[in-house]
Amino acid sequence: MTSTAVLTQNSVDTIAWTPEGVVMIDQTRLPNETNFVTCRTYVDVANAIRTMIIRGAPAIGVAAAMGVALGALHSNNLEADMPLICETLAKTRPTAVNLFWAIDRMRGIYTASKHLDIAQIRARLVEEAQRVREEDIAINEAIGRNGADLVPDGKTVLTHCNAGALATAGFGTALGVIRAAVRMGKKIDVFADETRPFLQGARLTAWELQRDGIDTTLITDNMAGHFLKSGRIGCVVVGADRIAANGDVANKVGTYGVAVLAKENNVPFYVAAPISTLDLTLESGDQIPIEERDRKEVTHIRGVAVAPEGIKVANPAFDVTPNRYVTAIITERGVARAPYIDNLRLLSL
């Protein structure tokens, strides 16, 4: 994996397939440095997902698809190597279902191409990975169109974590809805939770919305209740990492608290996500695996200790918001409302 610093850059691609390899913006270095890393092997891609160089459910899915394609390009015995390539990528992070969805999709292409020669199989896998990326941008634009009407004009939208262009191949899911509402001419501004401990809100959402010229105010996570009670927040829009058949939503830790506070204050709570984030094999959110991350993310900020050495730490990266707090789920195929058990299945057909 190699890293390149770019000093000025107008439009940022989260991830791209290039002749040199898979190029990603390094999200661990934002907002201080705009750096791009080139992944030359599928192991590089797996490491990039694990270390959060790329993160956000749809972006992880695109990266995994490109990782499989990269693995195939360097293999002379696909039948022997494909299981290891897929397994290595699948083991990187457990919660975002888009990772497994993308690997399954690539495995399907491989199975359907087995009768071809190896050069043709590789070409098909590379094409498919690029298609996953292109489709993701189109899907996010459709999510934006479907959600923009729900955003009240003249009010503030609250969001948590980063469900923006950086969390996807482009445009974003929750931030896609905000961008589409702005494009419609709605006068809105955004409150972005900083999103401890990894600070996706402060480092990434604030960065990308500021670049877009969208009026954005950064708040710490514990300020959300104060502003939800104040009457200025018109709605909450967040993304999702996995949505169970009953509409329970796993998203960045802290989302559940925001959802409860939104309901308490009669503020609509919307989840924006592609159909590939639905996991209809799970009856409820209780079955969603929750990633536990390194204790140092909690005890340290940018390498500086903020807690006593040896303190016990819990660091679940996600929480599950029960469906009763979710006003609607905005997808590229339309908007689902309760009863989710019926309406998500209908959208997924």
Chain residues that interact with ligand MRU, rule: CB under 6 A: 55-58, 96, 161, 163, 167-168, 173, 200, 239-241, 251-252, 317
* CB closer to ligand MRU, 55 vs 179: 55
Shortest gap between Cβ of 301 and ligand MRU (angstroms)?
16
Helix (H/G/I), strand (E/B), else coil: 294: coil
Shortest gap between Cβ of 251 and ligand MRU (angstroms)?
5
Question: Going by DSSP bridges, is the β-strand pair 328-331/318-321 parallel, antiparallel, or unpaired?
Answer: unpaired
Contact 1, 22 (CB under 8 A): no
Residue with tokens 């002749």: 19
Shortest gap between Cβ of 218 and ligand MRU (angstroms)?
16
Shortest gap between Cβ of 320 and ligand MRU (angstroms)?
12
d(CA 46, CA 68): 10
The vertex-20 CA angle with 6 and 49, nearest 5°, equals 75
Helices within 149-221 (DSSP H only):
174-183, 200, 206-212
Shortest gap between Cβ of 345 and ligand MRU (angstroms)?
21
Catalytic residues: 241
* CB closer to ligand MRU, 125 vs 174: 174
Rounded alpha-carbon distances, angstroms, from residue 174 to 46, 55, 132, 187: 26, 15, 19, 17
- The torsion of the CA quartet 53, 57, 61, 62, rounded to 10 degrees, works out to -60
d(CA 331, CA 340): 13
Shortest gap between Cβ of 306 and ligand MRU (angstroms)?
20
* CB closer to ligand MRU, 44 vs 319: 319
Residue 197, preceding bond cis, omega within 30 degrees?
yes
d(CA 103, CA 276): 12
Beta strands in the chain (DSSP E): 2-5, 15-18, 21-25, 35-39, 156-159, 189-193, 216-219, 233-238, 242-244, 249-252, 269-272, 278-279, 300-301, 304-305, 318-321, 328-331, 334-336
